[in-house]
Homo-oligomer: A and B are copies of this chain.
Amino acid sequence: MALKNDLLLRAAKGEKTERIPVWLMRQAGRILPEYRAVRNSLSGFIELVSTPDLAAEVTIQPVDILGVDAAIIFSDILVIPEAMGLPYEMIEKKGPHFPKTIGSQAEIDKIKVADIESDLGYVLEAIKITKKELNERVPLIGFAGAPFTIFCYMVEGSGSKTFSKARKMLYQKPEMAHQLMQKITDSTIAYLKAQIKAGADIVQVFDSWAGILPSPQYETFSVAYLKQIANAIQEVPLTLFAKGAYFARKSIAELDCQTVGLDWNMDIKESRALCGNKTLQGNLDPCALYASDKEIMEQTKHMLDQFGFERHIANLGHGVYPDIKPEKVKVFIETVKEYSSR
């Protein structure tokens, strides 16, 4: 059976579409009261991530409620370190925390490449349920964290303004860092392939902490591993989003991916020039959704004009912020749909 709405997939492949597709990073969760109702019935975020039928339910909510052109499986990039032997906790209002971290050769040796079927079967199951429930209405996006970002969490143990503990390893023990990155990369490729096999129609890799590295280190410690992923994933379109790495747009666009994500600082025309004929995804300022409806419409139209109505997947430049009102998200989505219809 074919997808009824395949705008996102066609845009990712660079095909002309009758209008620009739109979805939001973090659309599943956070902002919807319907999500919070499900979430509050459980012990916490991780229970929701690991309960396939509920993960599927919140994955589909924004398709029904907001009218987005894709669903993205409700999960977390940190399921990969967990599957590699480093469990995480999610602390309310603070974010992720790892009780154990990686600092020594012995600790790296102990870390395993994830066994996807046995360790992450619950994500694959959530994807299967979601695909069935979506009933081919819109594509389903699978995702993973970029090896560098996962490395940051595994070494630092939590979010950080500087990630100086993780970055210290790049300077002091670069070979050790490469060993860990390779294990993460092998796990990530297997994970993305399993998500595709379970039903994901397109996959995205999030390099959330890309912006903290100097450009030469970013090439060595992140782009090299993104390249392995891009070469390995040939089954479906691949989106790479390296937040903050304005200096690496050209390198990333040269990889074998279909779409490059832009954050809200990245100039659209400059990014077009740097990214060749790749499809671009983004990049409205997430804070623009605090504005009046009129201003959201204006900013969204201005963004669409700059992208030029082709090779573009409309999105914010970052995950939607938790206190944004769903009605404001709808104004953004409706404006994309109406203004880009030709």
Residues of A within 8 A of B (CB): 159, 161-162, 164, 167-168, 170-172, 211, 213-215, 217, 244, 246-247, 264-265, 267, 285-288, 290-292, 295, 318, 321, 323
Chain B contacts for A286, CB-based, 8 A: 162, 164
Contact status B171-A288, CB under 8 Å: yes
Residues of B within 8 A of A290 (CB): 164, 167-168, 171-172
What residues of B have a CB within 8 angstroms of the CB of A292 in the complex? 172
Query: In the complex where A171-B287, A172-B291 touch, is A323 in contact with B214 (Cβ < 8 A)?
Result: no
Q: Which residues of B contact A287 (CB under 8 A)?
A: 162, 164, 167-168, 170-171
Q: Which residue of B lies closest to A302 (CB)?
A: B216
- Choose one: B159, B215, B217; the contact of A161 (CB below 8 Å): B159
CB of A264 within 8 A of CB of B164, answer no
Most buried by B among A159, A265, A287, A295: A287
Chain B: which residue is nearest A211 at the CB level? B265
Copies in the complex: 2
8 more CB-based (< 8 A) A-B contacts, given A168-B287, A247-B265:
A162-B318, A164-B290, A171-B288, A171-B290, A171-B291, A172-B292, A214-B264, A215-B267
A285–B246 touching, CB < 8 Å: no
| Residues on B with beta carbons closer than 8 Å to the beta carbon of A172 | 290-292
Instruction: Pick the contact of A265: B161, B164, B215 (CB < 8 A).
Output: B215
How close is A235's CB to chain B, nearest CB, in angstroms? 34
Chain A to chain B contacts (Cβ below 8 Å), 20 pairs? A159-B161, A162-B286, A162-B287, A162-B318, A162-B321, A164-B286, A164-B287, A164-B290, A164-B321, A168-B287, A168-B290, A170-B287, A171-B288, A171-B290, A171-B291, A214-B264, A214-B265, A214-B285, A215-B265, A247-B265
User: Closest CB-CB distance, A323 to chain B, in whole Å?
Assistant: 7
Contact residues in B for A295 (Cβ distance below 8 Å): 171
Q: How far is the CA of A318 from the CA of B164 in the complex (A)?
A: 12
In the bound complex, residues from chain B placing their C-beta under 8 Å from that of A217 are 285
- Closest residue of chain B to A161 (Cβ to Cβ) is B159
Minimal Cβ-Cβ distance residue in B for A167: B287
Closest-CB distance, A317 to chain B (whole angstroms)? 8
Inter-chain contacts of A244 with B (CB < 8 A):
211
Q: Report the bound CA distance from A133 to B214 in whole Å.
A: 38
- Cross-interface CB contact of A247 among B267, B291, B323, cutoff 8 Å: B267
Q: Which chain B residues lie closer than 8 Å to A291 at the CB level?
A: 171-172
Query: What's the minimum C-beta distance from A153 to chain B, rounded to whole angstroms?
Result: 14
A212 closest partner in B (C-beta): B265
Which B residues touch A247, using CB under 8 A?
A: 246, 265, 267
List chain B residues, Cβ under 8 A from A288: 171
CB distance from A41 to the nearest CB of B (A): 27
Complex Cα–Cα for A199 and B167 (A): 39
- Flag if B164 contacts A323 (CB, 8 Å): yes
The smallest C-beta distance from A206 to any residue of chain B, in angstroms, reads: 15
Q: How far is the CA of A266 from the CA of B169 in the complex (A)?
A: 22
For A289, the closest partner residue in chain B by CB is: B171
CA of A285 to CA of B213, assembled, Å? 8
Q: A24: shortest Cβ distance to chain B, in Å?
A: 15
Q: Which B residue's beta carbon lies closest to that of A159? A: B161
Give A304 to B162 CA distance when docked, in angstroms: 24
